[in-house]
Amino acid sequence: MSLLAPAAVLLLLLTTASAGLAHTLWGRHWLQLPVFWLTACVGCLLAYGFSLHLPLPLELPTPAGVPILEAVLLAWLLLGVVARIRV
């Protein structure tokens, strides 16, 4: 019996990878890391919750129902906004 659903594990991995890379690129202090993580989490959850899909000519795979490309793009869009305001 697993503790987390596959979608939750995938969303956590995408969130952590995005936040870690954003902090590496734009972070100045360790206290910014939780802000980047929460921002990436919001982006991934919005894409998953609203089932966002880009209008592409081919259908991209969505493992566990998670639109990976859209979740990562939305997370990075929000991370760029947060990094721009220099939290």
**What does DSSP assign to residue 64?**
G
The answer to whether position 39 is within a domain reads yes
- Measured between alpha carbons, how far is 36 from 4 in angstroms, rounded to an integer? 23
pLDDT tops 60 at residue 19? yes
The answer to whether position 78 is within a domain reads yes
Convert the pLDDT of each residue in 23-68 to its tens digit.
999 999 999 999 999 999 999 999 999 999 999 999 898 999 999 9
- Measured between alpha carbons, how far is 5 from 69 in angstroms, rounded to an integer? 20
Burial 9-23 (b: 16+ CB within 10 A, else e): ebbeebbeebbeebb
Q: Which residue would you say has higher pLDDT here, 17 or 87?
A: 17
- Measured between alpha carbons, how far is 21 from 66 in angstroms, rounded to an integer? 20
Overall pTM surpassing 0.85 (yes/no)? yes
Note down the domain range covering 14.
8-53+66-84
Question: Into how many domains does the chain fold?
Answer: 1
For residue 25 the two structure tokens come to 């690129």
